[in-house]
Structure 1
Amino acid sequence: MASRRNQFLRVLLIFTVVVFRGVTSNINDGNFDGSNFNKFDASYRFSHDQFLEFYNAPLHPIENHFWRSPENLGEVSGVAVEPTGNLIIFHRGDRTWNHDTFDENAKYQEKYKGPIRENTVLTVDSKNGNIIRGWGNQTFYLPHGIHADPFGNIWLTDIALHQVFKYSAFGVLQLILGQRFMPGSDINHFCQPTSVAVLSSGEIVVADGYCNNRIVLFDKRGNPKYAIGENWITLRIPHALTILPNEQVCIADREDFRIVCLDVTFSGLKQNSYLPYSIHHPQFGRIFGIASYRGFIYAVNGMTFKNIQIKGFTIDSINRNVIEFWSPESSVFTMPHAIAVCPYGSALYVSEIGPNKVWKFDLVTKSNNTDVKQLVLNREWK
């Protein structure tokens, strides 16, 4: 009986993969034909009540000219915002990533240097940029991603250690995933993991990252459940993650120049499912960082081609289109790497590698007094 059930589930999974590949191949910002998607809308789309519950007019990022980024930072690989609204920075101190940092098997070649001596995790006052506290010294080798969950826990990835860490808000270690300095592709190993996100259920989503190009799901205790790799979706460097109100996880698929959103819990095999999709735009280039607030995705790209400007994007995740471009007013982005949104929707932060700094943007309603009712009508489903 169990074998028949497993065989049935495998058939359903294969069918879903076929459907998914068809959907993602037809969705882009320039010429999406709604008829290609209408046949799926009964299973994917929010209900009208769900839509109104989570809907909010898109917020416009405007550079905060009074903000001063902390100085004397290393490469700022990650930013997050804790539940109190303060910024958390994850930086690399005196370390950099170059051609000789890893060998051809992704093994870290600079272990002899020991861990970074200075505090790599810094809590920063959201009002003025002053450092409130720091920790993480003598611990990390090559920081990458940081995520603050609703309980204030801090999740970190280290691409040299090939590990994921969970800490309390004050730096008490609670969980380690992966094997120290041991890259691998099985369910118990990572290879240069890039990002972490935590679902409302407590399940842990890891973007495993530069080598394996996959997503790995763990239960809330850190027990591995399964990996989502090429048998489900083809990714080329899943670089950052964010979670939408419908619990879909959106991925910055960096080298494919797109954002992919999917249900990593495989409830797509159940009745009220959310089918995966991808979002493209001609100006995306390499998407490095994504964050979201009330169903709108905020993203930053990085160096790609000469004709691709480095900037920020505001994306409507329901209509799947870019609704605004934005960037600093006082200067330009050089090498953005990560982005984070305040849980109260008051501010957005972008970290850069190159000029090792953090930009703060205030999130405000549009100054042209756009009619919110019209926005709702535009987002209604025909």
Structure 2
Amino acid sequence: MASEHNQLSRFLLVLAIVLFRYVTSDINDGNFAGNNFNRLDTEALYHLSQDQFPETYNYAPLHPVENHLWQSPENLGEISGVAVDPSGNPVIFHRGDRTWNYETFNDNAEYQEKYKGPIRNDTVLTLDPKTGDIIRGWGNHTFYLPHGIHIDNLGNIWLTDIALHQVFKYSASGIPRLILGQRFEPGNDMEHFCQPTSVAVLPNGEIVVADGYCNNRIMLFDKRGNPKYSIGEHWISLRIPHALTILPNRQVCIADRENLRIVCLDVISSGLNRNPESPYSIRHRQFGRIFGVTSYRGFIYAVNGMTSKNIQIKGFTIDPINRNVTEIWGPESLPFTMPHAIAACPYGTALYVSEIGPNKIWKFDLLQT
């Protein structure tokens, strides 16, 4: 009898969430409690959509704690991106001797420093997850101004270069597989990007690109790289979509940097206009400019960056079902200075945060609370 009562209670809870998940919501939580953890994983909704009642729940998000034994590699350029491969190794994308300043691009977003040639150093570095030592590197004499890195479930490495205005797919060993966009040509049609920031690959292999600093749109490509459609002002207003992550229900969540929020939407339904759910926003009074987002088991982990003197630079754990912040966290040894990207280990053991300013990688162990 008790078992039947528990199953009925779970069913009613999930049904209530499903009924309310169609409501567009902007959350500005002025009453944040740092240990107010939500008790339901979005995987429940994903399994429910497959006509399967969830057998287990992940009852709480994981708690990031700075790993004091970790040593970030030194003498690197601006570390613009970080990802984690299927083996649990962090992989970073850095800029070598290049920086981005007011003279790097003209008013048409055309790169002004081609004369320098590509970066001579290895720009893609795989690190030892225990020590931070560099295991291997590649990508020398290839990139001009690195930005985003994403590693898909098969170990393919996806990169964006904002000077080249291109998106690249490489094998795990650095063999080129696919190039999207036109070299050094900014544009706003389906064959061009303008300073693309981030890539994420859906479970069906379709490619999502945040395009980025100029076009403020999300673009979808099939798994072979053929363009399908873009999502922009006709559906959602973005101001520098800076990073992407994919939830278990296949929604794509966007770090909408200059709008000081995270936006989540179904990119497939939105593009096809098949009565799609409205995008929803997650806001918090301490967000500021959100630079990086990642996710694990349905919870979003995000980092902000310099916004104003009233906004601390921190990490955030976010429950996208209830659309609230469950924890604000950060390093214990020193404060963040200029976080730019964040990535979660696929096994849920660690988070990695890259910084531009001090060109540094932080490791946070993910612990049960």
- Does the 8 Å CA contact 2:241/2:255 hold for their aligned counterparts? yes
Query: For 2:153 and 2:28, how far apart are their aligned partners in 1?
Result: 32
Number of the residue aligned with 1:13: none
Number of the residue aligned with 2:100: 97
1:227 aligns with 2:227: no
1:285 aligns with 2:288: yes
For residues 264-296 of structure 1, give each alpha carbon's deviation from its aligned partner in whole angstroms, at most 9, with x where no partner exists.
Answer: 01178558x654211000000000000000010
How much has 1:354 moved relative to structure 2?
Answer: 0.3
Query: For 1:307 and 1:103, how far apart are their aligned partners in 2?
Result: 32
The equivalences for 1:227-266 within 5 A come to 227-266=230-269
Query: For 2:144 and 2:152, how far apart are their aligned partners in 1?
Result: 23
Number of the residue aligned with 1:137: 140
- Does the 8 Å CA contact 1:90/1:121 hold for their aligned counterparts? yes
1:64 aligns with 2:67: yes
Number of the residue aligned with 1:121: 124
Query: For 2:317 and 2:56, how far apart are their aligned partners in 1?
Result: 20
1:305 aligns with 2:327: no
For residues 223-252 of structure 1, give each alpha carbon's deviation from its aligned partner in whole angstroms, at most 9, with x where no partner exists.
Answer: 000000101100000000000000000000
Query: For 2:298 and 2:53, how far apart are their aligned partners in 1?
Result: 11
Number of the residue aligned with 1:36: none
SS at the partner of 2:115?
helix
Distance 1:283 1:83, change over 3 A: same
Number of the residue aligned with 2:175: 172
Number of the residue aligned with 1:3: none
- The farther-off stretch of 144-153 and 52-61 is 52-61
The AA in structure 2 aligned to 1:27 is D
How much has 1:27 moved relative to structure 2?
Answer: 2.1
Q: TM-score, normalised by structure 1?
A: 0.84
For residues 118-147 of structure 1, give each alpha carbon's deviation from its aligned partner in whole angstroms, at most 9, with x where no partner exists.
Answer: 000000010111111000000000000000
State the aligned residue count. Answer: 332
1:28 aligns with 2:31: no
Number of the residue aligned with 1:341: 344
Query: For 2:286 and 2:318, how far apart are their aligned partners in 1?
Result: 13
- Does the 8 Å CA contact 1:248/1:274 hold for their aligned counterparts? no
The equivalences for 1:329-368 within 5 A come to 329-366=332-369
Distance 1:224 1:126, change over 3 A: same
The AA in structure 2 aligned to 1:93 is G
Query: For 1:281 and 1:76, how far apart are their aligned partners in 2?
Result: 27
The AA in structure 2 aligned to 1:203 is E
The AA in structure 1 aligned to 2:316 is F
Q: TM-score, normalised by structure 2?
A: 0.87
How much has 1:28 moved relative to structure 2?
Answer: 1.0
- Does the 8 Å CA contact 2:30/2:284 hold for their aligned counterparts? no
SS at the partner of 2:158?
strand
For residues 90-130 of structure 1, give each alpha carbon's deviation from its aligned partner in whole angstroms, at most 9, with x where no partner exists.
Answer: 00000000000000000000000000000000000101111
How much has 1:50 moved relative to structure 2?
Answer: 6.0
- Does the 8 Å CA contact 1:54/1:295 hold for their aligned counterparts? no
How much has 1:261 moved relative to structure 2?
Answer: 0.2
SS at the partner of 1:255?
helix
Distance 1:322 1:251, change over 3 A: same
How much has 1:57 moved relative to structure 2?
Answer: 2.0
SS at the partner of 1:266?
helix
Distance 1:306 1:173, change over 3 A: same
- Does the 8 Å CA contact 2:30/2:285 hold for their aligned counterparts? no
- Aligned mate of 2:76, from 68, 73, 78: 73
How much has 1:53 moved relative to structure 2?
Answer: 5.4
- Does the 8 Å CA contact 2:305/2:338 hold for their aligned counterparts? yes
- Does the 8 Å CA contact 1:23/1:276 hold for their aligned counterparts? no
State the superposition RMSD in angstroms.
2.0
- Does the 8 Å CA contact 1:54/1:245 hold for their aligned counterparts? no
Query: For 1:279 and 1:52, how far apart are their aligned partners in 2?
Result: 28
SS at the partner of 2:354?
strand
Query: For 2:232 and 2:27, how far apart are their aligned partners in 1?
Result: 22
Number of the residue aligned with 2:191: 188
